[in-house]
Amino acid sequence: MYYDVLMAGFGGQGILMIGDLLALTAMREDKHVTWMPSYGVEMRGGTANCTVVISDRRIGSPITGRPYSLIAMNKPSLEKFAPIVRPGGLIIGNATFMAASDLSRKDVDAVFIPTLDLANEIGDQRMASMIALGAFIDKTGVVTLENAVSALESTLPEKRKHLLPLNRKALECGRDFARNGK
């Protein structure tokens, strides 16, 4: 098994956090993992992306030219990275900032989720990227949702532990949207 995903958006959208959580979850499932973050000097509001590679064998390089998946949290990220996703791959798009019609490719599975609207419904707009991750986990099965929640429980700093129920709800919301479209 080998799976790679590129996650991209504006700084402050939680891109690096969901990449880190995915990598940690995969490690806890005894998989080999690389996590390679990249962000602009502006941080919040600038560009941020990361690549996560998960495998049952040692990984030779954290760099991928043709990822299986993309989680794009803004339209510039979709425009920049959608062309390099492998045919037959998966694109999770944030429908709050883009539409399915913004994706010209027909050779990938695409799920566009109104992450910000859903995050506001569950009570905290910071959960938007966690919703996207929940959809990604459900569509790929590369890790389990329960293990992601468990990894989050043990890594959240004490001052953020009160957000655990919201994070769980966000992951489940993304999973449910991926399955049912709502």
For residue range 130-166, what is the model confidence (pLDDT) as tens digits?
Answer: 999 999 999 999 999 999 999 998 888 888 889 999 9
As assigned by CATH, the class of the 2-180 domain is alpha beta
Region 19-28: what's the mean pLDDT? 96
The domain locations on the chain are 2-180
For residue range 86-115, what is the model confidence (pLDDT) as tens digits?
Answer: 999 999 999 999 999 999 999 999 999 999
Question: pTM for the full model?
Answer: 0.93
pLDDT band at 44 (very low <50, low <70, confident <90, very high): low
Q: What is the DSSP string of the chain?
A: -EEEEEEEEEBTSSHHHHHHHHHHHHHHTT-EEEEEEEE-TT-BTSEEEEEEEEESS--S-S--SS-SEEEESSHHHHHHHGGGSPTT-EEEEETTT--GGG---SSSEEEEE-HHHHHHHHT-GGGHHHHHHHHHHHHH-SS-HHHHHHHHHHHS-GGGGGGHHHHHHHHHHHHHHHHH--
pLDDT band at 40 (very low <50, low <70, confident <90, very high): low
